[in-house]
């Protein structure tokens, strides 16, 4: 069994975990939540094994490189980072409600990323040689930091959406919203996740600039991917400024978090439709 088949199986295990987390949320039962956590752990381990196997397979083909060079590989890695961050939050806070609702956000997102990678006819799972510009030791540093940043922003967006839904029912009368974590926990966690994502995105932009200089002889060329990465960076810089200097919190911060993640999605997917130095991302 090769890495692509393992990762295809992992896709459906993530789907199972998402279904079980959703069941635990709707029916307020402990058993589905525990089963969901077990399924998420199995899927994460399979995701890890698939990434490592794909790395080894590239060396067996004589074109060895980290599996981070095309859309398929980036989606697989994005799902892995999402679940890793979710596990860290669950361990850090040890709040069962936050655990289940985090699972409702994280595992469906991981499933959708893996499903798009595995099932979309526009995404190839073939291991391909690196183009000359990608043959650099900066590949791992740049891609890993960017995708940890993206994953942090994705989790922050999910938490912000939970916060906004809860604000529609502040007294907790609705069945599905009654057991959401407290407002201050959701608000603070959104802030922490955006600080985490902002740090990694900043490092990703810096390593990308250094890499671009070594590959193309310029630190910045206003390529669409570079431009939208900078726009995304400014949106989250505005978020942090509003939070730390202006004292913003609550709905305004949650809306900024959602808008920021829309920019992340366009930076990740949308700019691949535009011609540029990063068009190999598709």
Note whether residue 85 is domain-resident: no
φ and ψ at 27, to 5 degrees? -95, -5
Note whether residue 5 is domain-resident: yes
Buried b / exposed e along 141-151 (16+ C-beta atoms within 10 A):
bbbbbbbbbbb
The CA distance from 7 to 53, in Å, is 10
Please compute the mean of the pLDDT values over residues 47-57 and round it to a whole number. Answer: 95
Note whether residue 46 is domain-resident: yes
92-149 residue pLDDT tens: 877 666 676 667 789 999 999 999 998 888 888 888 888 777 777 888 899 999 999 9
Please compute the mean of the pLDDT values over residues 182-205 and round it to a whole number. Answer: 92
Percentage, residues of the chain above pLDDT 90 = 45
Q: Identify whether residues 163 and 228 lie together within a single domain.
A: yes
Query: What pLDDT score was predicted for residue 103?
Result: 78
Alpha-carbon 70 to chain mean position: 16
DSSP assignment string, 38-69: HHHHHHHHHHHHHHHHHHHHHHHTT----S-S
Q: Identify whether residues 164 and 54 lie together within a single domain.
A: no
Note whether residue 123 is domain-resident: no
Alpha-carbon 154 to chain mean position: 5
Q: Identify whether residues 158 and 208 lie together within a single domain.
A: yes
Q: Across the chain, what does the average pLDDT equal? A: 86
Q: Identify whether residues 145 and 60 lie together within a single domain.
A: no
Query: What pLDDT score was predicted for residue 156?
Result: 93
Is the model more confident about 83 or about 64? 83
**Domain boundaries, position 171:** 131-282
Total-model pTM: 0.91
Residues for the chain: how many in total?
282
Angle between helices 224-244 and 183-216 (to 10 degrees): 150
The CA distance from 167 to 34, in Å, is 28
Note whether residue 258 is domain-resident: yes
Domain count of the chain? 2
């Amino acid at each position: 069994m090769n890495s692509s088949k393992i990762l295809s199986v992992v896709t459906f295990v993530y789907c199972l975990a998402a279904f079980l987390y959703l069941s635990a949320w709707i029916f307020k039962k402990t058993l589905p939540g525990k089963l969901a956590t077990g399924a998420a752990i199995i899927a994460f381990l399979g995701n890890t094994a698939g990434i490592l196997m794909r790395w080894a397979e590239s060396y067996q083909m004589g074109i060895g490189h980290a599996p981070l060079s095309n859309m398929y590989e980036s989606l697989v890695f994005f799902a892995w980072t999402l679940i890793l961050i979710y596990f860290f939050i669950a361990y850090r806070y040890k709040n069962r409600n936050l655990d289940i609702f985090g699972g409702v956000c994280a595992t469906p997102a991981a499933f959708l990323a893996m499903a798009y990678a595995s099932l979309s006819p526009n995404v190839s799972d073939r291991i391909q040689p690196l183009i000359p510009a990608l043959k650099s030791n900066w590949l791992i540093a740049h891609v890993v930091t960017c995708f940890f940043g993206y994953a942090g922003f994705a989790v922050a967006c999910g938490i912000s959406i939970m916060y906004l839904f809860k604000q529609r029912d502040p007294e907790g009368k609705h069945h599905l919203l009654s057991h959401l974590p407290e407002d201050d926990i959701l608000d603070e966690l959104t802030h922490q996740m955006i600080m985490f994502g902002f740090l990694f995105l900043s490092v990703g932009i810096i390593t990308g600039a250094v890499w671009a200089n070594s590959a193309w002889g310029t630190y910045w060329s206003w390529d669409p991917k570079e431009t939208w990465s900078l726009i995304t960076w400014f949106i989250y810089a505005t978020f942090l400024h509003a939070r730390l200097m202006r004292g913003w919190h609550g709905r305004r911060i949650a809306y900024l978090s959602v808008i920021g993640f829309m920019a992340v999605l366009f930076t990740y997917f949308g700019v691949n439709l535009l011609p540029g130095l990063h068009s190999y991302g598709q």
